[in-house]
Amino acid sequence: MRDVSLANVGWKPVFQQQLALFPDNLAVARVVAVQRTGLSVAPSVGSFTEVVLGGKWFVMEVEARATVGDWVLIDPQTGALEHVLERLSLIKRMSAGTAGEIQLIAANIDTAFIVTSCNSEFSLSRLERYLAAIVEADILPVVVLTKKDLTDNADFYVEQVRSLDMTLAVEAVNALSAADVDSLSGWCTQGQSIALLGSSGVGKSSLVNTLSGATVQLTQASRGGDDKGRHTTTNRSLHMLPQGGVILDSPGMREFQITDAQSGVNQVFDDIVELASACRFNDCQHDAEPGCVVRQAVADGKLDERRLQSFFKLAREEQFNRETTAQRHTRVRKWSKTVKQTLNTSHKKRT
């Protein structure tokens, strides 16, 4: 990313207020990419656009480490990362296949484009999953339906999305058409930070290229026959947009397990939560209990069984992952305490 001003990469006055807490000699930059051992930042800090992370950052709790979109303070003399500013928002998930490990997706995002295709990849349950995490983070969700040019019934997919929430913003586009994608420009204005979330092959990188007016990300077609995508983007990275905002492209996520999103789940399924409050028993499991208003709504055709099962699944998953995360935090704190005690003992013996 070329040299830019703070404003061009999303700087806001609320971050300025935090600077009073830190030494004046530190420089501000935004994380635009994360590598295995360091960070890429913009604007450059002196001659530094790459920051090598010291060992202390790798023993911190995952959520305390820097991720794409974070605002950081860097020592301009050494290029060392000193502090991560308090975030306005954070998108995270449980890492696929690793119990108890949180993966940070992006920080300080204003709007999330949930990207899905007008084909067999489309899934209301997957959309609800993304929505729960985004709403929990207090980020504005926008559902972007791609490949409308490859279907004769894009309106069907739009109606399906709006069945979840009539107030939800939804746009159907051909990701390769600048005229189509222009419908998204209202969310990409000066100072705004956008994140693209979705499976592989749905057109996220194509959207980035079209919004940018240049090829900044490589693209590949979906696999023939099943509409499943191939991984093209391999790392999360921020890109500047000509409208003045920045946009995050990320690798496709076939699995997006939620955690610490109880409020988000309840908001996304507020219709079910409201029905449940009228059940005869406070601890109703909405299975076969007498006086269950939720089950009656399903029987009357007022509530879709698919949506109820999606709610059950996400609520259970969120609770399990939240409890697992809490246990992991406890283990890390105990380990850190043991390390400190060992170091203190060793120091006393030497003196």
pLDDT tens by residue, 280-301: 998 899 988 899 999 999 999 9
Q: Which domain holds residue 218?
A: 90-249
**Sequence letter at residue 286:** H
- Which helix (H) or strand (E) segment holds residue 249: the answer is strand 246-249
Question: What CATH number should be reported for the domain holding residue 119?
Answer: 3.40.50.300
Same domain, 202 and 304: no
Question: End of a domain among 217, 249, 281?
Answer: 249
105 and 147 share one domain: yes
Cis peptide before 242 (omega within 30 of 0): no
Return the number of other C-beta atoms located less than 10 Å from residue 114's C-beta. Answer: 24
Averaged pLDDT score across all residues of the chain: 87
Q: For residues 114 and 181, state if they share a domain.
A: yes
What's the pLDDT score for residue 336?
Answer: 58
Helices (H), ranges, the chain:
13-16, 124-136, 154-162, 178-181, 204-212, 262-268, 270-276, 293-299, 305-350
Last residue of a domain, one of 57, 84, 111: 84
233 pLDDT band, cuts 50/70/90, is very low
Domain holding 320: CATH number? Answer: 1.10.40.50
pLDDT at 230 over 70: no
Which tokens is 110 given? 């204003």
- 289 and 231 belong to one structural domain: no
Same domain for 287 and 156? no
- pTM for this structure? 0.85
Same domain for 64 and 107, yes or no, is: no
Q: Which of 15-24, 308-317, 318-327 has the lowest mean pLDDT?
A: 318-327
Q: How many domains does the chain contain in total? A: 3
pLDDT tens per residue across span 93-132: 987 665 568 999 999 999 999 999 999 999 999 999 999 9
Same domain, 284 and 186: no
Q: Are 66 and 39 in contact (CB under 8 A)?
A: yes
Same domain as 27, residue 63: yes
For 249, the token pair is 């492209």
Of the chain, the percentage scoring pLDDT greater than 90 comes to 66
Please indicate, yes or no, whether residues 20 and 77 belong to a single structural domain of this protein.
Answer: yes
Judge if 273 and 305 occupy the same domain.
yes
Task: With respect to residue 197, please indicate whether it lies within any of the assigned structural domains.
Answer: yes
229 and 190 co-located in one domain: yes
Q: Is 340 inside a domain boundary?
A: no
Q: Does some domain include residue 341?
A: no
Say whether both 199 and 284 belong to one domain: no
Whether 300 is covered by a domain: the verdict is: yes
Q: What integer pLDDT is reported at residue 223 of this predicted model?
A: 46
